[in-house]
Amino acid sequence: MSAELLIKNLWAQVEDKVILKGANLAVRSGEIHALMGPNGSGKTTLAHVLMGNPFYQVIKGEVLYNNEDLLAMAPDDRARKGLFIAFQYPVSIPGVTMASFLRTAVSARRGYEKDHLMSLAEFQKLARAKVEELQVDPAVLGRYVNEGFSGGEKKRAEILQMALLEPEIAIMDETDSGLDVDAVKIVAAGVNRMYEASGKKMGVLVITHYPRILKYIKPTRVHVMFDGRIVTSGDADLAEELDQIGYDGIRAQYERVAAEVVGEGEVRSAGKVFWVQH
Amino acid sequence: MAVVNPLGIDLDQYRYGFHDPVDGYAFRSERGLSRKVVEQISHLKSEPDWMRAYRLHSLGVFEKKPMPTWGGNVGEIDLDNIYYYMKPTEGQGRTWDDVPENIKRTFDRLGIPEAEKKYLAGVGAQYESEVVYHSLREEWTKQGVVFLDMDSGLREHPDIVKEYFGTVVPPEDNKFAALNSAVWSGGSFVYVPAGVHVTIPLQAYFRINAQNMGQFERTLIVAEPGAYVHYVEGCTAPTYTSDSLHSAVVEIIVKEGARVRYTTIQNWSKNVYNLVTKRAVAYRDATMEWVDGNLGSKLTMKYPSVYMLEPGAKAEILSVAFAGAGQHQDPGGKVIHAAPHTQSSVVSKSISKSGGRAGYRGLVKVYPGARGSKCAVRCDALILDDQSRSDTYPTMEIDEDDVQVTHEATVSKVSDEQLFYLMSRGINQDEAMNMIVRGFIEPISRELPMEYSVELNRLIGLEMEGSVG
Ligand SMILES: Nc1ncnc2c1ncn2[C@@H]1O[C@H](COP(=O)(O)OP(=O)(O)O)[C@@H](O)[C@H]1O
Ligand SMILES: [Mg+2]
């Protein structure tokens, strides 16, 4: 089964503020993409819009998931169909244990009928295996969802959820920030293992600020988002170059070129030079 | 999030809405209340004179007292249209084999025999006004623990009953306490001798099974110094169209160093007026804990209270209430600090939905001289839609400076962020909502015996069905 996520000219806003301004991106089975870009460029917004957070309004554009209109689906539908996001800022649910939450979620993803969850024994076996693989403290299963978790614990719990839900297309939003090098390695190894276990079928979009995690999760494509658009794409080397010139470098180029161009259009790049295309 | 199905509760789906035909009743008093009815009840039970006199005195108090005008609307109760006494079968079942078939069927449907097999030690099951089945584990009997229905308690332990009955909740307390004192029938009598720890909860199941049938059970628990007991009552009721009244009185005496926990999960049908007076007195270093889950009923007014009479006494009140369409839950608690170094904690969680009203009404009273006492009150309300409401009425009467009293109250709605997070994992909106609500009451449900917390979550799930706001 091969999956495909096609984002076409996506515009979205939050409370009257337009944030996504024509994002285009395709993530297919087996591909590993990195999405980089300065703070506030709209990466998280893109992730939330893809998952259907009602807080964000789509203004125009289209997103197809396996040829279906993703934007017409409820978030739970999207998730059951195999889309997953490891959130940058996961919310906590007081009073609900990770174990009961995960058992319900895994049962939903696997198509169990309402009121018939995966058996407790089966779930526990599965959860224990994943907890061990990702070197997460098993005690996490007895804790309330994200309640009182440190930043790092939250990020790792998101990856634990990803491992249990076995997505077709997974988006990881800054999973690496807030993790130390060892933790980044563990998380990356976990993601690589999921990728292998899927028969290299899983599609991954790694949203990150720093190229660090990309040393361990090797991207096939790297994209840079700036002001709600993808302004340049390239191979894995682009991440390194970005690291050297920095986002300020891009910003300077972008602004200089943008100033030369009248009117609004799509920003394109050729090599390391950015320009605005009419 | 869009309102998908605002009509939440469908009475037809009510799980326990079945009932046996009422024909097999051995005796049914005439409708309405009079001196004659009260005398008849006392006569039929072959009670001692003092109890008959007590009932008649209480009737007089009842007649004089006005209906309460605060809390909920009790004016709609038609007190003349209620059977004040009904006795389903003759005799008292000691063992399961003695229990009549139709009653067993009812219990079966409530899952009681299984529960018994697993861990029940003693069952006091109230079917109509009469307790028909009672069993008590042998070792407790050997230890001197008494767990009987109140009528048998009065017959078999008249001295203890006479010593304590009505001492904690006198008929003069309020109109419904007076009513109960006049016409009480059934309920439990528990006596735990000094130093005895009853390790397995004593459980009683209550069930109303006739239209316009009043239930006036009376419970008395006496824990001698150093004793421990956990009493659990779970109530389920079938659904009927006309109004029904449940007005119980619970009196608890917790002596020096003893500890009593009283757990209730009530799920009355949506036409029941549930007006209960629950009160405990706690002596030196004694601990009283009320755990109270209020679902169902049309109106519930229930404020379990603890009078801390001697130094070191402790009180804990945990309550959860759920009000759906047409329901008014007015639960709460009262803690009275009448001695130095007493401690209390009140946690109240209320949920309202589909136009329901739920809240908290509480009293913290600290008498002069109750130095070094501490009290913490926390009430959280969760409102599931714009039609529903929550009211909090905390009253504080603090007449001592050297005390620590804290009060925290929150009112919240289910957050869209939380719903979205759960849904982003494939969990549908209804279940996501359910989970958040279960999480909200978790501080209370974790205090319940396991099957009761499962039951509470299941009942809340039923109430929540199709409700999303
Ligand atoms: N909940 C929100 N309310 C208001 N503004 C928001 C909200 N979320 C994001 N924004 C704004 O949208 C822009 C893009 O933010 P975001 O998508 O988080 O970017 P990134 O993930 O690339 O740092 C920023 O200007 C940010 O301030
Ligand atoms: Mg972000």
In 10 A of CB B125, how many CB atoms? 24
* Three-state SS at B241: coil
Chain A residue with Cα closest to B433 = A93
The predicted structure's pLDDT at residue B186 = 81
Q: What DSSP element (H or E) covers B102?
A: helix B101-110
Structure-token match 């209906």, residue found: B67
Is the confidence at residue A165, as pLDDT, over 80? yes
Q: How far apart are CA B446 and CA B449, in angstroms?
A: 8
Residues 402-441 of B with CB under 8 A from A: 415-418, 420-429, 431-432, 435-436, 438-441
Say if ligand 1 is within 6 A of residue A39 CB.
Answer: yes
Is the confidence at residue B301, as pLDDT, over 70? yes
| pLDDT (mean) for B202-223 | 66
Q: What residue owns the CA closest to ligand 1's atom 6?
A: A14
Q: How much distance in Å is there from the Cα of A39 to the middle of ligand 2? A: 7
pLDDT digits (tens, 9 = 90+) for B145-173: 998 888 889 999 999 999 999 999 999 98
The predicted structure's pLDDT at residue B28 = 61
Q: Is the pTM of this model over 0.90?
A: no
| pLDDT (mean) for B76-85 | 73
Range of lowest pLDDT (A13-22, A226-235, B12-21, B401-410): B12-21
Judging contacts by C-beta atoms under 8 Å, the chain A residues touching residue B424 are 51-53, 75-76, 78-79, 85, 87
Q: How much distance in Å is there from the Cα of B107 to the middle of ligand 2? A: 57
In 10 A of CB B227, how many CB atoms? 26
Are B102 and B109 spatial neighbours (Cβ–Cβ below 8 Å)? no
A interface with B, Cβ–Cβ < 8 A, is 51-55, 74-76, 78-80, 85, 87, 90-91, 93-96, 100-101, 104-105, 108-109, 114, 144, 161, 165
Q: How far is Cα of residue A34 from the mean position of the Cα atoms in its chain?
A: 9
Domain count, chain A: 1
Q: How far apart are CA B460 and CA B260, in angstroms?
A: 27
A125 against B137, higher pLDDT: A125
Is the confidence at residue B335, as pLDDT, over 50? yes
Task: Label the pairing between strands B389-398 and B305-308.
Answer: unpaired
What CATH number has the domain bearing residue A35?
3.40.50.300
Distance from CA of B410 to the nearest CA of A (A): 14
Give chain B's length: 469
| pLDDT (mean) for B140-147 | 86
Distance from CA of A196 to the nearest CA of B (A): 22
Q: How far apart are CA A252 and CA A256, in angstroms?
A: 6
Q: In 3D, which of B181, B136, B191 has the Cα closest to residue B33? A: B181
Report the residue among A13, A44, A91 best suited for mutation to probe ligand 1: largest number of ligand atoms under 8 A from its CB: A44
Asked if B69 is an interface residue toward chain A (Cβ–Cβ < 8 A), one would say no
pLDDT digits (tens, 9 = 90+) for B336-372: 999 999 999 999 999 999 999 998 999 999 999 999 9
**Radius of gyration from C-alpha coordinates of chain B:** 22
Q: How far apart are CA B139 and CA B137, in angstroms?
A: 6
* Three-state SS at B359: strand
Dihedral angle over CA of B264, B270, B271, B277, nearest 10: 20
Q: How much distance in Å is there from the Cα of A155 to the middle of ligand 2? A: 13
Q: Which residues touch A205 (CB under 8 Å, ≥6 apart)?
A: A25, A27, A33, A34, A35, A169, A170, A171, A172
**Residue ranges making up the domain that contains A179:** 4-48+55-276
Are A2 and A200 spatial neighbours (Cβ–Cβ below 8 Å)? no
Distance from CA of B124 to the nearest CA of A (A): 32
Q: How far apart are CA B130 and CA B3, in angstroms?
A: 45
pLDDT digits (tens, 9 = 90+) for B46-59: 999 999 999 999 99
Chain B residue with Cα closest to A165 = B425
Q: How far apart are CA A68 and CA A168, in angstroms?
A: 15
Beta pairing partners, B316: B289, B345
Are A25 and A33 spatial neighbours (Cβ–Cβ below 8 Å)? yes
Q: What residue owns the CA closest to ligand 1's atom 10?
A: A14
pLDDT digits (tens, 9 = 90+) for A253-268: 666 555 544 344 444 3
Judging contacts by C-beta atoms under 8 Å, the chain A residues touching residue B439 are 93-96, 144
Q: Which ligand is nearest to the CA of A89?
A: 2
Nearest Cβ partner of A104 from B415, B421, B431? B431
What interface predicted TM-score (ipTM) does this complex get? 0.92
Share of chain B above pLDDT 70, in %: 76
pLDDT digits (tens, 9 = 90+) for A32-69: 999 998 889 999 999 999 999 999 999 999 999 999 99
Q: How far is Cα of residue A97 from the mean position of the Cα atoms in its chain?
A: 24
